[in-house]
Amino acid sequence: MAALRQAWFRLALFVEARLLPFRIGRRPIADILALADGPVPAGLDGMSVSAIVRAVRRTTRRPWLMADRPCLRQGVLAYRSLRAAGFAPELHFGVDRDSIAEPSLRAHCWVVVDGAIVLNPPDPRMVTVLRHGGPAAPAAVAALA
């Protein structure tokens, strides 16, 4: 039964990964966070953090779309899947402090569970500008709207 559940999860993750670029597009961060906090699939109870992160990495390793923003795609997928498995993940968004004076900012997104970075560790030059998740996730989205 566990093998069937994991196969179903991988298929659902594959489909969601392919549709996510169209759902995110160039939308504002509040819309992206609302999508991340949206309904999640059931049946992921018992899956480990490492199994979910491994599946997200495998599913997104060759992006056709959003190739310029792989960390955002992976972050949203992992956040949603980890929530579905019963964890309280946090999405962290940061900017490279050296890019602040440049015409465009270099940004990054990573995922934290229980205080540990589990996906897309940031460069030491990254400064966190937004942390989303845990019990205050819906309030954070409302504050950005």
Q: How do residues 63-108 score in pLDDT, each as one tens digit?
A: 665 566 789 999 999 999 999 999 999 999 999 998 888 888 899 9
Report the C-alpha dihedral over residues 53, 34, 73, 59, rounded to 10 degrees: 50
Of residues 44 and 87, the one with the higher pLDDT is 87
Quick one: 100 exposed, middle or buried, by C-beta within 10 A (0-12, 13-18, 19+)? exposed
Average pLDDT for the chain: 84
Q: What is the largest CA-CA distance in the chain?
A: 54
Question: What pLDDT does residue 33 have?
Answer: 94
Encoded tokens for 71 = 């960390």
Q: What is the mean pLDDT of residues 46-64?
A: 87
pLDDT at 140 > cutoff 60: no
User: Can you give the pLDDT at residue 67?
Assistant: 60
Note the pLDDT of residue 8: 83
Q: Which two tokens stand for residue 101?
A: 């004076």
d(CA 81, CA 118): 13
Tell whether the model's pLDDT for residue 55 goes beyond 80.
yes
